[in-house]
């Protein structure tokens, strides 16, 4: 029971911070005007770019595709296809997380699930994901991203690291005869 509460805390914490950060950002750029419109169309918001440092900006972008704006060109059915696919992937991750995951997989999968759900909420509400963090060096920009994306990337990184360490430990035990 304690494990489930910890995992749910991580998942809901990621969702909370992701949605709060996006909400604050939307509030600041719209002047507190509530966004309205068709849930499957991107709500027009004035272009915004604020230089914070020499290598970091706040920018406002809608990402109707997936990571790095992939699958943008699927047409009007893009949001529906992505929502269905994402929901299936989230369902699989949650099932695996709560039923089959090894100890080293728990936190990374909770981070990934929370981030995926945070972005899914945007897709359902707006038909696109709000991205607003922009890092760059000179004229080279990394694609804009958000808090959910950070949690997904950190979760994947931790998953790979933990998988490597677990396998290494297992191999050490096999070689050592322990």
Tell me, yes or no, if 38 is annotated catalytic. Answer: no
- CB pairs under 8 A, 24+ apart, for 113-116? 113/11, 114/10, 114/11, 114/12, 114/13, 114/14, 114/15, 114/18, 114/148, 114/151, 115/14, 115/18, 115/147, 115/148, 115/149, 115/150, 115/151, 115/152, 115/155, 116/86, 116/89, 116/90, 116/148, 116/152
The SS3 of residue 130 is strand
Tell me, yes or no, if 122 is annotated catalytic. Answer: no
Query: Where do the domains of the chain lie?
Result: 2-176
Q: Which of 18, 122, 134, 149 is catalytic?
A: 149
DSSP assignments along 37-66, one per residue: S-TTSPPP----EEEEETTEEEEEEEE-SS
- Residues forming beta bridges with residue 141, ordered by sequence position: 136
Of 40-44, 152-156, 173-177, the poorest mean pLDDT is in 40-44
Q: Which of 18, 122, 131, 134 is catalytic?
A: 131
Contact yes or no for 62/46 (Cβ under 8 A): no
Best CA proximity match to 90, nearest among 121, 114, 69, 64:
114
Best CA proximity match to 65, nearest among 135, 132, 122, 141:
122
- Per-residue pLDDT, 42: 54
Give the whole-number percent of the chain exceeding pLDDT 70.
83
Residue 48 phi/psi, 5-degree rounding, is: -135, 135
- Rounded to two decimals, what is the model's pTM? 0.87
Residue 39 phi/psi, 5-degree rounding, is: -65, -15
pLDDT in tens, 124-147: 998 889 999 999 998 888 889 999
The SS3 of residue 135 is strand
pLDDT in tens, 28-86: 877 665 555 554 455 555 567 788 889 998 888 888 877 656 666 666 777 788 899 99
- Per-residue pLDDT, 33: 55
The SS3 of residue 24 is helix
């Amino acid at each position: 029971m304690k494990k489930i509460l910890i995992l749910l805390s991580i998942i809901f914490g990621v969702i909370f911070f992701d949605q709060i950060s996006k909400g604050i950002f939307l509030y600041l750029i719209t002047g507190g005007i509530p966004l309205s419109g068709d849930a499957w169309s991107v709500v027009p918001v004035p272009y915004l770019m604020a230089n914070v440092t020499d290598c970091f900006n706040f920018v406002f972008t809608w990402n109707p595709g997936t990571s790095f704006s992939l699958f943008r060109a699927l047409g009007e059915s893009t949001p529906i296809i992505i929502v269905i696919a994402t929901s299936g992937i989230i369902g699989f991750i949650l099932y695996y997380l709560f039923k089959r995951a090894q100890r080293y997989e728990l936190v990374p999968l909770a981070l990934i699930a929370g981030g995926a759900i945070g972005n899914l909420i945007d897709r359902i509400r707006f038909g696109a994901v709000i991205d607003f963090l922009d890092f760059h060096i000179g004229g080279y920009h990394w694609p804009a991203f958000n808090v959910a994306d950070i949690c997904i990337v950190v979760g994947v990184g931790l998953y790979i690291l933990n998988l490597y360490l677990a396998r290494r430990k297992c191999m050490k035990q096999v070689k050592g005869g322990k």
